[in-house]
Amino acid sequence: MLQIETIMNYITHILLMLAVGTAWSQGNNSFAVQTKIENGTIEGLYETGSGLQYYLGVPFAKPPVGNLRWKAPQPLDTWTGVKQTKKFGPRPIQAIVFGDMGSRSDGMSEDCLYLNVWTPAKKGASLPVLVYFYGGGFVAGDGSEPRYDGAAMAKKGIVVVTVNYRLGLFGFFAHPDLSKETTYKGSGNYGYLDQAFALQWVQKNIAAFGGDAKKVTIAGESAGSISVSAQMVSPLSRKLIAGAIGESGSGISALAAVP
C-alpha cells in the first residue's frame, strides 16, 4: 500500500512540474520583431509574457581590430538585409578577477563593441532612457551580466541600454607613437571613447525603440560610476545626456588611474 502511495505521489509531482513548465512556456512565448535603425534593420524578440522587446548584441561601431586597434571607435557601415540581434555579443578581452561576475556572452573578443536594448514601447513613444556602464575595475565586466539585465526597469516604462567598452590594455593603453597618429595628439582612454560613441548612437537611434533622446540618463557602478563622471565632464558627451547616477566611484577616485 505504501509503495502504491509513493508511486502516486511521484506521478502527481511529475504532473505538477509539467503543468508549471507549460504555464511558464505559454506566458513567455516570444517572436521576432524588426526595427529600422540608422545603419540598417535589426531583428530582436518580443516576449509576450512581459510585453517587452529586447535587442541583444547590437553593433554600435566597427570592430576595433587590426588597424583599428588602439584607435577611437569608427562609424559602422550600413548593411543590407536583416541583422540578427537576439543574443549577446562577445565580451571585451579581460582578466577573470572577480568571482561575482557571470557573463551571458559566448566568449571574449577584441570585436566587442555591442550594446543591448530592452524596451516596453513601440516606435513613436517618448520614454526616458537609462544607459548603464558596468563596473569591474576597467579590467573586467560586460553588458550581458545578469545583474545589469534591463527587463525589470523596462517593465516600469524605461528604455534600458547596456554598453560594452574596451578594457585593460585594449581600452586604456597610451603611447607617444599612438598619440602622433591622432588629430588630437593623444592616446589611451579608448574605453571612455567607446562609451561616448555609444551615447552618440543612442541619440541617433533610441527613438526607434520608443525612447526620448532628450531624456537620457547615464548610470554605472564602481568603474562604471567613474565612467559616468568622465562622460559628465567630457566635451564629447556633455550634450548627449540629461542626467547622471554614479554608484560608488568618481573621476577623482584612486581607481580612476588604474588603467
Taking Cα atoms as reference points, which of 151, 100, 101 lies closest to residue 130? 151
Domains of the chain, each with CATH number or no CATH: 29-257 (3.40.50.1820)
Q: What is the pLDDT of residue 186?
A: 86
Q: Render pLDDT for 119-161 as a digit per residue (tens, 0 to 9).
A: 997 777 899 999 999 999 999 999 999 999 999 999 999 999 9
According to the 3-state scheme, what is the secondary structure of 94-119? CCCCCCCCCCCCCCECCCCCEEEEEE
**pTM, entire model:** 0.86
Cα-Cα-Cα-Cα torsion 163, 168, 171, 177, nearest 10 degrees, comes to: 180
Q: How many CB atoms lie within 10 A of CB 84?
A: 13
Average pLDDT over residues 79-86: 98
- What whole-number distance in Å separates Cα of residue 168 and Cα of residue 258? 9
Q: What is the pLDDT of residue 251?
A: 82
- Most confident residue range from 8-22, 73-87, 90-104, 171-185: 73-87
Confidence of residue 98 (pLDDT cuts 50, 70, 90): confident
Do the beta carbons of residue 249 and residue 226 sit within 8 Å?
Answer: yes
Do the beta carbons of residue 162 and residue 115 sit within 8 Å?
Answer: yes
Q: Render pLDDT for 42-70 as a digit per residue (tens, 0 to 9).
A: 999 999 999 999 999 999 999 999 999 99
Q: 56 - beta bridge partners? A: 86
Helix (H, G, I), strand (E, B) or coil at 33: strand
Q: Render pLDDT for 170-226 as a digit per residue (tens, 0 to 9).
A: 999 999 999 999 888 889 999 999 999 999 999 999 999 999 999 999 999 999 999
- What whole-number distance in Å separates Cα of residue 240 and Cα of residue 232? 9
Burial class (CB in 10 A: 0-12, 13-18, 19+), 12: exposed
Q: Look up residue 130 and give its three cell numbers.
A: 537609462
- CA separation (Å) from 231 to 30, 170, 236, 240? 36, 19, 8, 9
